[in-house]
């Protein structure tokens, strides 16, 4: 980044003005539309940094693209973006201030979604919101716009998975008394789950492990929770406490008993509790008894 701008400064004024004029002419003719592609990592920080760069370098929204994948675009200027704490914090603050807490959270959720085009959609939505000076809490109102719609539906999808896992996550008590849970969500939602459980179980030591992305959320008793990223350890070996097995069996039994046979409706059960969650759930896994109707 810095290399480019400094080289720009080195050029003398005349040369600069000539290139600018050429560019302008080409654009007026409509022959060349020079795209700038910001290549980001799949992280909120990186994408926010790209949004900062877009404003810093004073580019045009229709000629800017934020890409997450490796696929190159023809005739485009490529800029690799590395997350810069100063820059993304500024973007965070601006978004929070201008759009309000709820919409900021929606934007974050959209960026946590597993989707290739999320960065571009969020970028366009945010730029539109900032340019049009949209009021706090109204960023995602203009659903007739495709980018807003995509941001909205991604945020909704992530939000739904968060809501699901708030319920479907299962802790197991280890011998040491630590509660341990394993999840395999589609979207990157551990960051959103941790505050909920930290608020709910303040006096417990607990760990949530994201099976798909291999990272941990850790909450020490009465302490502040944090994420442990990039560990190569994988899932630790678990030794369950003696009481744990009994409570698991009790709960399995409870779930079987509470079913009203006359009303049996497995399709509805599958609709409400999709199968992909079940491999991590106590009542659907590894009981000694045969899995019957439940």
Partner 1 sequence: MEFLKTGKEQSIMEKLEILTDAAKYDVACTSSGVERKGNGEQIGNCVKSGICHSFSGDGRCISLLKILLTNECVYDCKYCQNRCSNDIPRATFTPEEICTLTMEFYRRNYIEGLFLSSGIIRTPSFTMELISRTIWLLRNKYHFNGYIHVKAIPGADPELIRRTGFLADRMSVNLELPTAEGLRELAPNKHRKTILTPMRQIQNGITQNQNELALYRHAPKFVAGGQSTQMIIGATPENDFQIINVAEGLYQKFGLKRVFYSAFVNVTGDKALPALAGGPPLLREHRLYQADWLLRFYGFRAAELLDEKRPFFNVLLDPKEDWAVKHLEQFPIEINRAPLEQLLRVPGIGVKSARRIVLARRSATLGFADLKKLGVVLKRALYFITCSGKLMYPVKLEEDYIVRNLTDVQERVRLGTDGMSYRQMSLFDDGRFTGRITVQEKLQTAVGQL
Q: Which is nearer to partner 1, 79 or 134 (CB)?
A: 134
174 binds partner 1, rule: CB under 8 A: no
Assess contact for 23 and 34: CB atoms under 8 A: yes
Task: Verify binding: residue 42, partner 1, rule CB under 8 A.
Answer: no
Other beta carbons within 10 angstroms of residue 61's beta carbon come to 12
Residue number with CB closer to partner 1 (59 or 164):
164
Dihedral pair phi/psi, residue 260, rounded to 5°? -90, 115
Which one among 4, 116, 228, 254 touches partner 1, defined by CB under 8 A?
Answer: 254
The piece of 5-13, 78-86, 104-112, 162-170 that touches partner 1 (CB under 8 A) is: 162-170
Strand partners, 66: 38
Instruction: Report strand pairing: 76-80 vs 35-39.
Output: parallel
Other Cβ atoms closer than 10 A to 112: 26
Minimum Å gap between C-beta 163 and partner 1 is 7
Residues between 116 and 155 with contacts to partner 1, criterion CB under 8 A: 138, 141-145, 149, 153
How far does Cα 85 stand from its chain's mean position? Answer: 18
Q: Which of 252, 262, 264 has its CA nearest to residue 291?
A: 252
Q: Does 111 bind partner 1 (CB under 8 A)?
A: no
179: helix, strand or coil: strand
The candidate with the shortest Cα–Cα distance to 104, out of 78, 66, 130, 82, is 130
Kindly state whether residue 191 participates in binding partner 1, applying the rule CB under 8 A. no
Residue 9 or 261 with smaller CB distance to partner 1: 261
135: tokens are 């009021």
State the binding string over 267-286 for partner 1 (x if CB under 8 A, else -). Answer: xxx-xxx-------xxx---
SS3 69: coil
Among 112, 173, 210, 218, binds partner 1 (CB under 8 A): 173
Least distance between partner 1 and beta carbon 228 (Å) = 20
3: contact with partner 1 by CB under 8 A: no
Stretch 226-245 residues interacting with partner 1 (CB under 8 A): 243
Look-up: residue for tokens 């991604």?
A: 154
Query: Which one, of 216, 138, 133, 131, lies nearest residue 179 by Cα?
Result: 216
Nearest-approach distance from CB 222 to partner 1, in angstroms: 7
Site residues, partner 1 (CB under 8 A): 138, 141-145, 149, 153, 163, 166-173, 179, 181, 196-197, 199-204, 222, 243, 247, 249-251, 253-269, 271-273, 281-283, 293-294
């Amino acid at each position: 980044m810095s290399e480019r701008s400094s080289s720009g400064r080195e050029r003398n004024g005349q040369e600069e003005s000539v290139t600018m004029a050429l560019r302008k002419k080409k654009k007026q003719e409509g022959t060349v539309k020079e795209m700038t592609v910001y290549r980001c990592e799949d992280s909120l920080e990186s994408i926010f940094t790209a949004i900062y760069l877009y404003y810093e370098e004073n580019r045009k929204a229709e000629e800017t693209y934020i890409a997450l994948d490796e696929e190159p675009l023809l005739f485009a200027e490529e800029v690799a973006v590395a997350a810069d704490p100063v820059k993304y914090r500024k973007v965070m603050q601006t978004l929070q201030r201008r759009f309000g807490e709820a919409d900021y959270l929606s934007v974050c959720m959209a960026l946590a979604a597993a989707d290739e085009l999320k960065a571009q959609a969020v970028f366009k939505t945010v730029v539109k919101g900032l340019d049009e000076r949209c009021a706090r809490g109204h960023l995602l109102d203009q659903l007739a716009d495709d980018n807003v719609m995509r941001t909205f539906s991604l945020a909704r999808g992530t939000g739904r998975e968060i809501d699901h896992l708030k319920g479907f996550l299962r802790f197991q008590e280890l011998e040491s008394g630590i509660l341990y849970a394993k999840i395999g969500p589609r979207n990157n939602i551990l960051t959103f789950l941790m505050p909920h459980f930290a608020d709910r179980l303040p006096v417990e030591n607990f760990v949530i492990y994201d099976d798909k992305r291999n990272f941990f959320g850790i909450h020490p008793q009465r302490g502040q929770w944090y994420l442990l990223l990039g560990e190569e350890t994988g899932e630790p070996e678990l030794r369950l406490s003696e009481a744990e097995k009994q409570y698991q069996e009790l709960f399995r039994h409870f779930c079987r008993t509470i079913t009203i046979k006359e009303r049996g409706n497995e399709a509805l059960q599958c609709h409400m509790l999709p199968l992909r969650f079940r491999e991590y759930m106590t009542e659907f896994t590894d009981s000694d008894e045969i899995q019957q109707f439940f």
